Amino acid sequence: MFKGGVVNYLSDIGNYIDLLYIWGSIAMSIIHGILTPYHNISIILMCLVALLAIRRTFNFLRIFTALSPIVTMLSNVIWQLRIFMTFFMIQTLLFSLMLGVLGIGNYKLEGEFRKTFYQKVDPDSIVRELSPDTPGIEYS
């Protein structure tokens, strides 16, 4: 920016991405101090910073002549797959919405799943929990 000038520096889109990475890293540090690293905003910001760091790393790998063709090839492939990835994300979102609307496997909604797997801990108690036979309980 000092050699080429501010106008020349801001004319390149890659510099905006680098600035986003720098300011995102600073914001992530501040949010980690104020909130916890496990807060939703913090997790989303960490994912964004990690993706931007991967992009920066690929750009720096172009310096090596042996890695330059591979980095260029990966960049072209990712760019050409953008239409498919958009379609895939829309399909995943719609499928997730359908499962959410149907409430399949949601113990919070009345139905067969709740009757079968959401049981009382003690017959005299009002406390309930998922039984060990619940599908996918090992992932909770």
Residue reference for tokens 């797997």: 117
Q: Does the predicted TM-score (pTM) go above 0.75?
A: no
pLDDT in single tens digits along all 140 residues of the chain: 788 888 888 888 888 888 999 999 999 999 999 998 888 999 999 999 999 999 888 888 888 888 889 888 988 998 899 999 999 999 999 998 887 777 666 777 777 888 888 877 777 777 778 888 888 777 76
- Is 109 domain-assigned? no
Q: How far apart are CA 7 and CA 27, in angstroms?
A: 26
pLDDT (0 to 100) of residue 130 = 82
pLDDT (0 to 100) of residue 82 = 92
- Using the Cα atoms of residue 74, residue 76, residue 82 and residue 88 in order, give the sign of their dihedral: negative
> What residues make up the domain containing 53?
1-64
- Is 1 domain-assigned? yes
- Is 3 domain-assigned? yes
- Is 8 domain-assigned? yes
- Is 57 domain-assigned? yes
Q: How far apart are CA 122 and CA 107, in angstroms?
A: 18
Q: What's the domain count of the chain? A: 1
pLDDT (0 to 100) of residue 140 = 67
Residues 6 or more apart whose CB falls under 8 angstroms from that of 74 comprise: 58
Residues 6 or more apart whose CB falls under 8 angstroms from that of 39 comprise: 31
Rg of the chain taking only CA atoms, in angstroms: 24
- Is 55 domain-assigned? yes
